[in-house]
């Protein structure tokens, strides 16, 4: 019966094509959707002489799906497929939709031989694209590696980053990226000097410069196409930078100008961050400036739960929008405050002039070593993290922005980060 429903000759690549790859990370969730929307209504469908079909896309544990019911099989398949592809694109799942189930039968069957052949073809295509990009990407004034540092101080390093199939906008070599970043520090100087709780000293970020005095900007092209990247692209970008490109100096923040869109205009934590230049919220250079200013605050660990007005575990103000440089270019209590035992960004090692006894966000947020910072709101979260050190610890359990050095491959056994062998939560 099922085979008779798999119609061929459609204009849509995945219509009537059962999935054949392994979907272990999505199978449980898809089974629930199948049962809820089709199997539970099977008697009603049969009575109405209708067929229910469910299409799905799976990328590790991230999935999208859509179902449709109807008498016209061709239209039913087509509508479900188109809806699934719409959700896949919207949520950046990054895969084609395939037929998962028809009525009560799941037709998605893992075929190791076919999946292997498909993977072989995809790898060959990827290699050909990589070789083509290597020839095209080599341009005068472009650097593919972090250049030698002029000092060993803490600093922020910038990348101009593309997906495997992204068009090269040359922002690393045409001066556009450097212009925006220099403006970032101009805004920081004014905002920090005007801060009411601050010490009146204008401060800016310590940027990574080359020996010739220019900003050190590395050109990076990902090994995945745009549609293959995770819904939150940093989940693919950050491991690539750390493991493939070797950008793992813990005295640096690695910040990307990614020349493609993502679900957010920007996203950052301690260690790494990204501004997505083609996102809908990035309509002008001013917006690129504002979003980068805001996300760089998160690379400094801001805002901590104990900062006045910051929402617990969220890293943002709950009731005072506009004070994290996202509008009006004002920086509020995250920069300076009078709360004992609570970090203030004015004391960050990444700002210059650097104050006495500064904090390193990597130590506070990745090593979970609060040191002198003993505010009850911070200790409460830290104690929760350490209650069951050998269990998986959710990214939501945090006292400020996330540590982007988290090693999620070892996460089921505790709190691990790249470059450190032992379980941080069990220390």
Domain ranges of the chain: 2-110, 155-360
Q: Cα(26)–Cα(39) distance, rounded to whole angstroms?
A: 18
User: Which CATH fold topology does 155-360 show?
Assistant: Collagenase (Catalytic Domain) (3.40.390)
How would DSSP label each residue in 240-268?
A: IIIIIS----TTEEEEEEESS--SSSEEE
Tokens representing 378 are 């911070």
| Number of neighbouring beta carbons within 10 Å of residue 140 | 5
pLDDT digits (tens, 9 = 90+) for 62-119: 899 999 999 999 999 999 999 999 998 877 786 789 999 999 999 999 888 877 777 6
Percent of the chain whose predicted confidence (pLDDT) is above 70: 95
Q: What is the pLDDT of residues 221-238, one digit of tens each?
A: 999 999 889 889 999 999
Percent of the chain having pLDDT more than 90?
A: 78
**Mean of all residue pLDDT scores within the chain:** 92
| All residues at 6 or more sequence positions from 354 whose CB lies less than 8 Å from its CB, including other chains | none
Q: Rounded CA gap, 196 and 190, in Å?
A: 12
Please state whether beta strands 217-221 and 62-70 pair in parallel, antiparallel, or not at all (unpaired).
unpaired
pTM (predicted TM-score): 0.79
pLDDT at 13: 57
**pLDDT given for residue 174 in this prediction:** 97
Q: Which two tokens stand for residue 207?
A: 């940027």
Whether 1 has a pLDDT exceeding 50, the answer reads no
Are 343 and 373 within 8 A, CB to CB?
Answer: yes
């Amino acid at each position: 019966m099922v085979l008779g429903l798999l119609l061929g000759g459609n204009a849509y690549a995945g219509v009537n094509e059962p999935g054949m790859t392994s979907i272990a990370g999505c199978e449980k969730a898809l089974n629930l959707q199948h049962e809820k929307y089709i199997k539970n209504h099977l008697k009603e469908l049969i009575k109405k002489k209708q067929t229910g079909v469910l299409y799905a896309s799976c990328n590790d544990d991230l999935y999208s799906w859509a179902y449709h019911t109807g008498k016209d099989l061709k239209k039913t398949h087509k509508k479900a497929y188109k809806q699934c592809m719409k959700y896949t694109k919207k949520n950046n799942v990054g895969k084609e939709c395939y037929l998962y189930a028809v009525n009560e039968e799941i037709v998605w069957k893992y075929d190791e031989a076919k999946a292997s052949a498909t993977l072989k073809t995809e790898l060959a295509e990827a290699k050909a694209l990589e070789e083509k990009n290597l020839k095209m990407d080599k341009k005068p004034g472009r650097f593919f590696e972090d250049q030698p540092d002029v000092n060993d101080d803490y600093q922020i390093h910038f990348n101009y980053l593309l997906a495997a199939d992204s068009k090269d906008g040359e922002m690393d070599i045409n001066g556009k990226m450097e212009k925006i970043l220099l403006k970032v520090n101009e805004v920081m100087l004014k905002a920090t000097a005007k801060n009411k709780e601050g010490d009146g000293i204008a401060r800016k970020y310590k940027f990574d410069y080359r020996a010739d005095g220019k900003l050190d900007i590395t050109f990076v092209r990902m090994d995945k196409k745009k549609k293959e990247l995770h819904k939150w692209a940093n989940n693919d970008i950050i491991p690539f930078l750390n493991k493939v490109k070797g950008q793992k100096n813990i005295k640096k923040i690695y910040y990307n100008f990614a020349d493609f869109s993502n679900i957010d205009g920007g996203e950052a934590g301690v260690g790494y961050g990204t501004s997505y230049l083609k996102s809908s919220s990035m309509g002008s250079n001013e917006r690129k400036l504002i979003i980068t200013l805001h996300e760089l605050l998160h690379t400094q660990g801001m805002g901590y739960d104990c900062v006045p007005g910051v929402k617990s575990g969220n890293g943002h103000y709950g009731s005072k929008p506009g004070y994290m440089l996202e509008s009006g270019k004002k920086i509020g209590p995250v920069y300076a405050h009078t709360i004992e035992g609570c970090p203030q960004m004015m004391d960050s090692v990444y700002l210059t002039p650097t104050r006495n006894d500064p904090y390193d966000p990597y130590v506070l947020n990745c090593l979970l070593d609060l040191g002198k910072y003993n505010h009850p709101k911070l200790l409460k979260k830290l104690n929760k993290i350490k209650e069951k050190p050998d269990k998986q610890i959710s990214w939501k359990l945090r006292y400020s922005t996330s540590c982007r050095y988290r090693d999620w491959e070892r996460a089921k056994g505790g709190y691990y980060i790249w470059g450190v062998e032992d379980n941080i939560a069990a220390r």
